[in-house]
Structure 1
Amino acid sequence: MSSKLHFHSIVSGLKDLIDCGDNGTEEQINVLKAIALGIFKIPIEAYNNLESINQQQLAKVVVEPFIRRRYIQLAVMLELCRHPKSHQQLSKLESSAEELGLNGNALTVCRKMIDMSALEATTDYIRRYKQYFLVLQEQHGPEAFNHEGGRQYDESFFQTLDSFSIMSPGSLGREFFNFYERNGMHLPSRTSINPGYYVCHDMNHVIAGYEPTGIGEICLGAFKLSMNDCDANWMASMTNFLIHEAGVFKPGKSAQYEPLGVDGDPFDGLNGKQGVMTLKGAPEMLADALERGTKCNNDFSTMDHIEMATVPLKEVREKYNVVPPLMSVADASIHW
C-alpha cells in the first residue's frame, strides 16, 4: 500500500474521530490541518476534499502496528485539544483503539480525566508515569540507585554541572548553563528532586532548540516521540500535553507534580476553555516538531549528555542530524 493512501486514510480517520456533531472544534481542526499539511504533505485542495472514514474502515486500511500506534497517538493529542472534554469523543477514541487492537496508559488517562477530579487524575497519572522516570534520567556515572528507585549521582556529577558556566562558549555544557540563566532557573543540585531527570530533559531542550515555554514543552515531547517512539517518550509527550494543553496538573515545587484547577476542564489562566494549541502558529510548530524528530539519525534523548558537555552544540546537532525548528509567532523564544 502506498504511503499516500496511508496518509489520506489517517487524516480521514482523524476527521471522523474529532467530529462530535460539529466537525471538530476550531482548535482541533487547526491542529489536524497542520498535521495533514506539515507532516503528510497533503496539498490543501486534497485535504479539503478528503471525506471522513469511520474507525472500522480505517482499521481495514491501516494494518501496520507502528502506523496504528502513531494514529492513536495523534488521536489522543487531538482529543486533549477539545475543550470542554466530551464523553462522545472519548467513546470514539476508545472504539478506535479497540478496532486497532491498541490500549495503554494514554487511553486510561483520557478516560480518568472525565471520570475523576483533577486531584484523582493527577495522582493516577503520576503513578503511571513514575515507572518511566529511570529511563528518562541522565545516564551518567555508576549505576547506583536511591531508596525511591531513582538514579543516584555522585559528587563528580554535580561538580561537572557547576563547571558548565566556565566551559567554552558554544559547548553543550555552556549552552545548558545559558539555557538556565536566560530562563531564570537554578541548575539542578544535590538537593533537587530528581536532578537527573531534569538534566536529561533540559539537555534535550538545548539540543532540540526549544525553550521551556508551553508550546516549547509540547514540541520537545513530540520531537522526542518521533525520534524514538518508545513508551517512555510517549508518556513524556503526554505529560506536556496534560500540563500545557489539558491543564490537569502543573510541575510542583515540593512535589513532582501538583493538581491544577477544578473538576471538568481545569485549564488555569485561559478560563478553562483553551489550551496552548490555540496560540497562532502553535499547530504548525507541533507538526514541525513531529517531522523534525523523524529526521534524526539516532536518539540523543537518553545519551550521556554530561560526557558530551565539552563538545560544541553545533557538532552535537550535526552528529544527530537535528535540523532547525520552525520559527513561529506562537513562540518567539526559540533558541537556535
Structure 2
Amino acid sequence: MLCAWPTRADAPRAGVDYLLLGQATSEPTPQRACAPGVLARHQDVLSIAAPAQGWSGEPQAVDVFGVLSGEVRISHGQRQVCGSMHDARTRDSRFRAGVGMVVVPKAGDREPIVVSWARPLKARWVPTLQLGAPSPVQQNDTARLLVRAACIAVAIALALSALMGFATTRDRLFLLYVVVCLVFVLWQAVLGGLSGYPEPWLPVHDRASWWLVGLTAFSEALLLPILWRLNGGDRRWPRSRAWQHAVLWGLVAVGCSVPWLGMPALGTLAAALETLYLLGCVLCLGVGVWALWRGDAQALAGLGALLPWWILVVAEAVGARWLIAYRIEALQVATTWFLMMAAFALNLRLGRLRQQRDEMRQLADTDMLTGLPNRRAGLRLL
C-alpha cells in the first residue's frame, strides 16, 4: 500500500511512480449571489413548472444557452445563482458552454424553476434552455463547448499556415488572410463565450453587445470583399475594387464608432448589418453563378463558401428549431467553412505562383531561338 505524503510538486521522489499535484483545500465551493442591479435589468422571466404529479425527487439540471449579454439568473425556492457567459468564474463548473444549475427538489414538490435574463439585442436571438437529468444535459453542454473550441482552433491553425505561406512567397494576400482569421477568432470568442473561459482574457464584461456588433462590422468588412473576389467579381469587373475599398473602410469606421452608441442605436445597427450582409450574399451569389456560366471554374470556391450561409438564411426564414437551439455553433461552423474555402483559394494562388516561378526560371535558362540551355544554365551545371 502506498501512502501519499505531502511533497513539493516540482521535486518528485526517486522510485515513486506517481506525481501528486496540489494539496488539500479548506475553501468552500464558491456561490455567487445575484446583485439587485443585475436583477433590475432582467426583462424576460420564464417559470418552468413542475410536472402534474410534482417533481420526482431526482436531481434536475437546467442549462441556458444563447444569452449573449448580461447575466442569467436560475432560482428554485430559496436558492438562486447568477452567471455570465463571458466570465466562467461566475458559472457552475459543471456547465462550460452555458449558465446552468442542478437542483434537487423534494418528491412531490411543485415549486417552479425560475430563469430570467436581459432582453436580447435581436428579437429572434432567443435563448435556449435545456432541462433534464444532469448527465445528458452536461454532456450536451460539453459537446457545444468542443464545437466552439474546435472552430477557433481551426481558424488559428489556418492563420499559422498562411504565415508559413507568406514566408515562402512574400505575397501580402497571405498576411491579409491572417488578419481575417484573427478577427474571426475574436468574433467567435465573444459569440460563443470563450472570451471568458477559463478566465476572462477579453475585457467584455457587461459590454458584450457592443463587442459583438463591433466585431460583426469588422468581420463583414473583410468577409464581403473576399466573397466578391472568390465568386469572380474582381475578374469580371476590375473597376469594382474602388467599391470594395469603400465598403471595407466604411464598415471599419462603423465598427470603430460602436463603443459610443446607446442600446437602441446598437440594435438598429445590428439589424442594418444583418441586412447589408444578406444583400452582399445575394450579389455575390449572382456574380458567382454568372461567372460559372461563363466558364470561370474558380467561382466554384466562392459558391462553396456561400453554401452554409444560405442554409442558415433558409433555416431562419422557415423558423427551423435546430437553428434556434444551436445558432452559435451553426454560425461558427459556417465561419470555419468560409475560412477553409478562402484557404483553398490561397493554395490555388500559391500553386499558380510556383508555376509562374518555374516558367520564369525555364525562360531564363533557355535560348529562345534553339530551345537549348543557355550560357547561364551551362555555368550553373558546371
Q: TM-score, normalised by structure 2?
A: 0.21
Kindly indicate which of the two structures has a greater share of residues assigned to strand: 2
Higher relative contact order (CA 8 A, sep 6+): 1
Q: Give the structure with higher Rg (CA).
A: 2
